[in-house]
């Protein structure tokens, strides 16, 4: 239940990482704050040449009492794959996560706004789109 009470956070609960971009959106409920982040990982092959990059999108829960963080959702949202030095576009069903402008959740679903509204079942990972 929302009491309308505001609490000053004495330090930023959002971790700062050089390979992670925090997306400019927050969601809060019941003493928890949630944020989205995109982490980019680069991989080098055996001869020391850049091989590929992946983009992981995470929804992170922060407990405002003790600042403990927990990843509650994470998917690879990469747009391209590298094979034998050639970039190949992927048909990744999670690419929409990198274009989100907002998100929310309930006990069963995560909701992402990215031009349309998509809901993701938190247990099965099944994605469905709300029709206009």
Rounded-to-integer distance, Cα 71 and Cα 127, Å: 19
**Mean pLDDT on 17-41:** 81
pLDDT value at position 117? 93
Q: Which residue has the higher pLDDT, 2 or 30?
A: 30
pLDDT value at position 84? 58
- Cα separations in angstroms, 99 against 4, 51, 70, 114: 31, 24, 22, 6
Q: Indicate if the pLDDT at residue 40 is higher than 50.
A: yes
Q: Indicate if the pLDDT at residue 75 is higher than 50.
A: yes
**Mean pLDDT on 2-28:** 65
In the chain, domain spans: 20-105
- The string of pLDDT tens digits covering residues 103-112 is 999 999 999 9
DSSP 8-state code for residue 96: G
Q: How confident is the model at residue 29 (pLDDT cuts 50, 70, 90)?
A: confident
pTM over 0.85: no
Q: Which residue has the higher pLDDT, 8 or 94?
A: 94
Using the structure block, give the residue that is written with the tokens 């590929």. Answer: 52
- Within 10 A of 52 (CB to CB), how many other CB atoms are there? 16
């Amino acid at each position: 239940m929302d009491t309308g009470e505001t609490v000053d956070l004495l330090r930023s609960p959002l971790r700062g990482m050089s390979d992670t971009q925090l997306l400019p959106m927050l969601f809060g409920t019941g003493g928890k704050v949630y944020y989205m982040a995109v982490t980019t990982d680069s991989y080098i092959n055996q001869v020391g040449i850049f091989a590929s990059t992946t983009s992981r999108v995470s929804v992170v829960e922060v407990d405002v009492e003790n600042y403990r963080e927990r990843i509650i959702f994470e998917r690879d949202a990469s747009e391209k794959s590298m094979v034998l030095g050639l970039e190949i576009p992927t048909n990744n069903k999670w690419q929409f996560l990198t274009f989100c402008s907002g998100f929310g959740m309930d006990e069963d679903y995560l909701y992402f706004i990215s031009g349309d509204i998509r809901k993701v079942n938190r247990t099965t990972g099944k994605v469905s789109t709300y029709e206009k």
